[in-house]
Structure 1
Amino acid sequence: MTFHKEGYTSLAICILFIFVLNALIQFYFPQAYALKWVIYILSFLLFAIIVQFFRSPSITIAKDETQVLCPADGKVVVIEETEETEYFKDKRIQLSVFMSPVNVHVNRNPIAGVVKFFKYHPGKYLVAWHPKSSTENERTTIVIENNVGIPVLFRQIAGALARRIVWYVKEGDVVEQGDQFGFIKFGSRVDLFLPLGTKINVNIGDVVKGGRTVLAELQPAVKAPKTEAKKKTV
């Protein structure tokens, strides 16, 4: 278990706040022993919350190009067929994972391949389970295409507490399955958009682990639907 680099600033601010708060209590209330113990306990809890939130456990990735790994720790909250309007502009299977503040917030590549598309969207901070959060909240959209030409789109979506999304990829990058592609601070959600016909291995309500849970299995024969022009009859 290590401490994630995205938490260094938050940890430094937390330690400084605890130091100043305890110094003020000691200076102005030197005989208030009960108050001091309350502050000590609250200080410890605040420190523990920051440390647990930015923890980055070491895991073993079982790589398989036919599988879609979970991009983050959390709980499956959406599995449905929907219209993806930003990149594919056709029907896809949406699978969403909600990350609570107590989850590990490291984001991992669900598949290996080439980053075909990346875009950052500034936006609102609706609660992550709100239906409009995937289109109105601060978010990123990333598309990775594997070596057999199957693309998977996924989004980092900020929640009500999150105010910063971090990403480490750009268009043209070659990425490995399970490697870190980003981080979201303090509660969020990740949406995946998979080809129709993909075998889904999880159910709504399942607790999943980033880089370890196999969410789905890609079908090599699955291709984006083609629209054939209708013949005109004279």
Structure 2
Amino acid sequence: MTDVLESIRRVFSVSIHKEGYPFILIGLVATVLLAWLWWPLGWVGAILTVWVCYFFRDPERVTPIRDGLVVSPADGRVSLITTAVPPVEMDLPQEPMTRVSVFMNVFDCHVNRSPVQGRIAQILYTPGLFLNAELDKASEDNERNALVIDAGEAKIGVVQIAGLVARRIVPFVKTGDALDAGQRFGLIRFGSRVDVYLPLGSQVLVGLGQTSVAGETVLADLRVNEPSRQYRIG
């Protein structure tokens, strides 16, 4: 029982992003109305409201700082590591780059953070479909918001991709803004994916299926020209 209470305390001690306030208010109003209609329904509304609070949590993160490090822009599971040409709308060479994809389910924190320190050279929103964000073709077909970050030694592409449930990509920044590694740059509501495009030859430091933490997990190193690490499940 003590462990359960401590878990609840940790959840509610984390700040909630302001983007979540309207949804929390809707949940509270719905809870009152449902309880008025039939009190057991009020518990359903209360549980959903608590989940909305949990979804919009915005915890502090400790970001490793070193030139060349690329940290994860999102909480979630590393769903794909491949070589791909970046979306045509991005101001990046139309040639293969290393792409690392992080899939966020509806229980992950959805505040996205900059993978590197640099200046935003481009932001471009592209309307599209709402396919399952885990599908490879979601990179080209789904609604997305693409950022190109000039990190000095390289340009890094970051693409927020809407999914089956996600219906809104919310940017916090604009073209020309300077970002620190781990700085918040946007949010995607309710389940989605973030792709990171890196120069070929970057050393990828995560494995498929690994859980990443936005602003903390190091995805890759731009300055190490060594084979990627191998992983096993055990």
Report the TM-score, using the length of structure 2 for normalisation: 0.86
The percentage of aligned residue pairs carrying the same residue is 37
Q: Which residue of 1 aligns with 2:147?
A: 142
SS in 1 for 2:146: strand
Matched, 1:59 2:61: yes
For 2:219 and 2:50, locate their aligned partners in 1 and report how far apart those are by CA, in whole Å. 31
Q: Which residue of 2 aligns with 1:68?
A: 70
Q: Which residue of 2 aligns with 1:194?
A: 198
Match of 2:101 among 79, 85, 96: 96
For 2:209 and 2:100, locate their aligned partners in 1 and report how far apart those are by CA, in whole Å. 12
Structure 2: unaligned runs, 5 residues or longer: 1-13, 226-234
Give me the CA root mean square deviation: 1.4
Distance 1:175-1:23 versus aligned 2 partners, 3 A rule: same
Matched, 1:8 2:8: no
Number of positions where the alignment pairs a residue of Structure 1 with one of Structure 2? 209
Matched, 1:112 2:144: no
Kindly state the Cα deviation for residue 4 of structure 1 after the two structures are TM-superposed: 0.8
- For residues 1-234 of structure 1, the aligned pairs below 5 Å read 1-25=14-38, 36=39, 38-86=40-88, 87=90, 88-147=93-152, 149-219=153-223
Q: Which residue of 2 aligns with 1:31?
A: none
Deviations 1:194-229 (A, max 9, x none): 0000000001100110000000001289xxxxxxxx
SS in 2 for 1:8: helix
Larger radius of gyration: 1
Residue type matched to 1:183 in 2? L
Kindly state the Cα deviation for residue 170 of structure 1 after the two structures are TM-superposed: 1.8
Kindly state the Cα deviation for residue 188 of structure 1 after the two structures are TM-superposed: 0.3
For 1:220 and 1:208, locate their aligned partners in 2 and report how far apart those are by CA, in whole Å. 20
Q: Which residue of 2 aligns with 1:224?
A: none
Residue type matched to 2:145 in 1? T
Deviations 1:43-73 (A, max 9, x none): 2211221111011112222222210000010
Structure 1: unaligned runs, 5 residues or longer: 26-35, 222-234
Report the TM-score, using the length of structure 1 for normalisation: 0.86
SS in 2 for 1:104: coil
SS in 1 for 2:48: helix
